[in-house]
Amino acid sequence: MAKFAMARQIFAGLQYGADDTSMPVRASVDAIARAAPHADIHVYPGLEHLLNVVPTVPPGEDVESVMYSYRDFRFGAGVRTDLTAWAQQALVER
């Protein structure tokens, strides 16, 4: 994404869950911010890769294992509102 953003001017809105176990959030955010300073980047505390609220992890379990079996998906606070606002802005600016 960072290489693509450097090559082209894109209207980018990115949302990350701070507790993502699938990718290095801080490194990704830093790389995108350098490559595309105009990008609108949000990092949500307490959310995982799919912007889902991280469930309580029982003792002896790890977050990633619990997420694979977790079926009570719900977006974290502000995710839908921020995405809707970004999409509306993107449509107006195009």
pLDDT tens-place string over residues 4-28: 555 555 667 889 999 888 889 999 9
Q: How many domains does the chain have?
A: 1
Q: What pLDDT, on the 0 to 100 scale, is given for residue 28?
A: 93
Nearest to 53 by CA among 79, 28, 27, 29: 79
* Contact of 14 with 39, CB cutoff 8 Å: yes
Q: What pLDDT, on the 0 to 100 scale, is given for residue 6?
A: 53
Q: What pLDDT, on the 0 to 100 scale, is given for residue 50?
A: 82
Handedness of CA 60, 65, 71, 73 (dihedral sign): positive
Q: What pLDDT, on the 0 to 100 scale, is given for residue 9?
A: 59
Nearest 5°: phi and psi at 51? 65, 25
Pairwise CA distance, residues 72 & 67, whole Å: 10
Residues of the chain with pLDDT under 50: none
The model scores a pTM over 0.75: no
Q: What pLDDT, on the 0 to 100 scale, is given for residue 53?
A: 81
Q: How many CB atoms lie within 10 A of CB 88?
A: 10
Question: What length is written for the chain?
Answer: 94
Residues with Cβ within 8 Å of 58's Cβ and at least 6 positions away in sequence, in order, are 66
Range of the domain at 39: 2-93
